Amino acid sequence: MKCPYCSSQDTKVTDSRDTDDGASIRRRRQCLSCGRRFTTYETVEQMPIRVIKKDGSRELFSKNKLRSGLIRACEKRNITSQQIENIVESVERKIRNDFKQEVSTVEIGNFVMDELKKLDQVAYVRFASVYREFKDIGSFMDELQALMNNQKHSGEKEFSHEDKLHEQ
């Protein structure tokens, strides 16, 4: 490591510790030439993820963009900011665990819908309605029917239409 004061390449680490968030390591160093001390931070370099949009264009993956879409879908639902953040982190982790540098919006949308389906069915349907771009009421009803069939098969309590209205 090059000394910021005298530019010497001869330095030694005197102390290392994790930062509070655990995402990097703080190192105290001392220059062997001039004797001055300085601090460096070591972090993992992550490759940028590019998103392939439906029209074939590409842009950098944005956690903020994903988060804002989730916030809209979860509006007026009993879903905390932490739960939304957990979904954002989970989706990014899934993408990075696949070691992909490019991922389609279809894959991202499916990851989000899998998470929302477990968390809140109304938020799931809201997100799906935008993501899947339902062209008519029939395609929207098909999605609702699939969700209700899945609910029956998983043994969850079935609600009547009136119960669902009161729930909102």
Beta bridge pairs of residue 38: 29
Mean pLDDT per 10-residue section of the chain, whose length is 168 residues? 93 90 88 95 85 92 92 91 93 86 90 89 80 62 70 52 41
Q: How many domains does the chain have?
A: 2
For tokens 């997100």, name the residue.
127
DSSP H helical segments within 21-62, as ranges? none
Q: Same domain, yes or no, for 34 and 82?
A: no
0.95 surpassed by pTM = no
The whole-number pLDDT of residue 157 equals 44
What are 83's two structure tokens?
Answer: 């739960």
Q: Same domain, yes or no, for 89 and 117?
A: yes
Q: Same domain, yes or no, for 27 and 101?
A: no
The whole-number pLDDT of residue 66 equals 93
The answer to the question of residue 168 being in a domain is no
The whole-number pLDDT of residue 60 equals 93
Q: Could you give the CA distance from residue 94 to residue 71 in angstroms, rounded to a whole number?
A: 20
Q: Same domain, yes or no, for 34 and 60?
A: no
Residue 28's domain spans which residues?
A: 11-43
Name, in order, each residue with C-beta under 8 angstroms of 125's C-beta and a sequence gap of 6 or more: 143, 144, 147
Beta bridge pairs of residue 31: 11
The whole-number pLDDT of residue 162 equals 40
The whole-number pLDDT of residue 57 equals 94
In this structure, are residues 52 and 103 in contact, taking their beta carbons and an 8 Å threshold? yes
In this structure, are residues 8 and 31 in contact, taking their beta carbons and an 8 Å threshold? yes
The answer to the question of residue 19 being in a domain is yes
The whole-number pLDDT of residue 20 equals 74
The whole-number pLDDT of residue 138 equals 66
